[in-house]
């Protein structure tokens, strides 16, 4: 049993808008900024030094205002390159993933997006409407078989010991959010990663943190066929690498 929820919103803009960064990231930042204003009782304090953080819901769902982004329970999906210039009537699909028990707070996203819909985005400047919303409960994995090759579509921060790190990450996420009651077995198969270095010069600012968006894309080829792996099945849903929560490490099995 896997406890992961996906929520999708289809938005239509009512006027032209040019995003300074990827629209998926712009919405994520706006949502969490508003969320902090709603939930935080010491808005002038940094999350990490606040003596209320052990009981704070914002600290929990933002992983310390993005400081511990490698354990974020909410993931935004985004492609390698996103359209930033939207005209009136253009549409955008936003997709969020909630891990395990964090899905109990899924209605916060709904509330804030509806608030933005009513008053506008970025200081009540840009208007949009929500055309539809869908929620999918991921209960079962695909159970991919005979895995030979994996395409890494968005950057992953490492190219060596990938599956050792992923096992450690998923074990920690499972402990924090109770994602699955199934044992996640390690992957010991040797592999080659035909990778290309990818880097965006402009850093990404989330909360009080600055992230350099760089990593590797390309193909992972196992030297021996991987018969099956729950580890790969979960990575296919949530992404791989340290920055999975902001769209990093999206994979596709291409056998």
- Computed over every residue of the chain, the mean pLDDT equals 92
Tell me the sheet residues that pair with 76: 96
Tell me the sheet residues that pair with 186: none
pLDDT exceeds cutoff 80 at 200 = no
Rounded to whole angstroms, the Cα distance separating 55 from 225 reads 46
Ranges 21-25, 123-127, 173-177: which has the least confidence: 123-127
| Overall average pLDDT of the 218-244 stretch | 94
pLDDT exceeds cutoff 90 at 207 = no
- Centre a 10 Å sphere on the Cβ of residue 97 and count the other Cβ atoms it contains: 23
Q: Which pLDDT tens digit goes with each residue over 119-170?
A: 988 876 789 999 999 999 987 778 888 999 999 999 999 999 999 999 999 9
Task: Quickly state the pLDDT bin for 81 (edges 50, 70, 90).
Answer: confident
**For residues 153-163, b (16+ Cβ closer than 10 Å) or e, as one string?**
bbbbbbeeebb
pLDDT in the model for residue 54: 81
Rounded to whole angstroms, the Cα distance separating 162 from 105 reads 31
Tell me the chain's radius of gyration from C-alpha atoms. Answer: 19
Contact criterion met (CB below 8 Å) for 61 and 67 = no
Q: Which two tokens stand for residue 40?
A: 């935080």
Q: pTM to 2 decimals?
A: 0.93
Rounded to whole angstroms, the Cα distance separating 134 from 138 reads 13
HSE at residue 245, side-chain half, CA atoms within 13 A, is 23
Q: Which two tokens stand for residue 141?
A: 């994995």
Domain(s) of CATH 3.30.70: residues in the chain: 4-138, 145-253
Which residue, among 148, 156, 160, 152, has the nearest Cα to 221 in the 3D structure?
A: 148
pLDDT in the model for residue 217: 95
Domain 145-253 fold: Alpha-Beta Plaits (3.30.70)
Q: Which two tokens stand for residue 132?
A: 């539809």
HSE at residue 53, side-chain half, CA atoms within 13 A, is 14
HSE at residue 115, side-chain half, CA atoms within 13 A, is 14
Tell me which DSSP letter residue 203 carries. Answer: P
Higher pLDDT, 94 or 123: 94
HSE at residue 77, side-chain half, CA atoms within 13 A, is 19
Phi/psi of residue 6, nearest 5 degrees? -115, 130
Contact criterion met (CB below 8 Å) for 97 and 74 = yes
Which residue, among 187, 217, 186, has the nearest Cα to 200 in the 3D structure?
A: 217
CATH class of 4-138: alpha beta
Tell me the sheet residues that pair with 133: 9
């Amino acid at each position: 049993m896997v406890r992961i929820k996906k929520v999708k919103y289809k938005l239509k803009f009512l006027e032209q808008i040019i995003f300074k960064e990827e629209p998926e990231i712009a919405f994520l930042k706006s949502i969490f900024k508003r969320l902090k204003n709603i939930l935080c009782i010491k808005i002038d304090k940094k999350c990490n030094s606040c003596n209320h953080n052990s009981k704070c819901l914002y600290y929990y769902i933002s992983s310390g205002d993005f400081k511990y982004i490698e354990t974020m329970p909410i993931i935004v999906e985004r492609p390698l390159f996103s359209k930033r210039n939207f005209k009136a009537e253009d549409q955008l699909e936003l997709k969020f993933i909630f891990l395990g028990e964090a899905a109990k707070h899924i209605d916060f996203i709904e509330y804030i997006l509806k608030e933005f819909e009513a008053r506008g985005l970025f200081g009540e400047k840009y208007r949009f409407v929500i055309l539809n919303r869908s929620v999918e409960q991921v209960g079962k994995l695909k159970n991919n078989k005979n895995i030979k090759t994996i395409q890494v579509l968005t950057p992953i921060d490492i190219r060596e010991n990938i599956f050792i790190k992923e096992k450690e990450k998923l074990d920690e996420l499972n402990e924090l959010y109770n994602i699955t009651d199934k044992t996640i077995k390690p992957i010991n198969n040797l592999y080659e990663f035909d990778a290309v270095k990818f880097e965006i010069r402009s850093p990404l600012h989330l909360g009080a943190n600055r992230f350099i968006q760089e990593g590797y894309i390309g193909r992972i080829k196992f030297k021996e066929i991987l018969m099956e792996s729950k580890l790969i099945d979960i990575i296919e849903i949530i992404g791989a690498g340290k920055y999975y929560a902001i769209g990093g490490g999206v994979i596709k099995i291409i056998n």
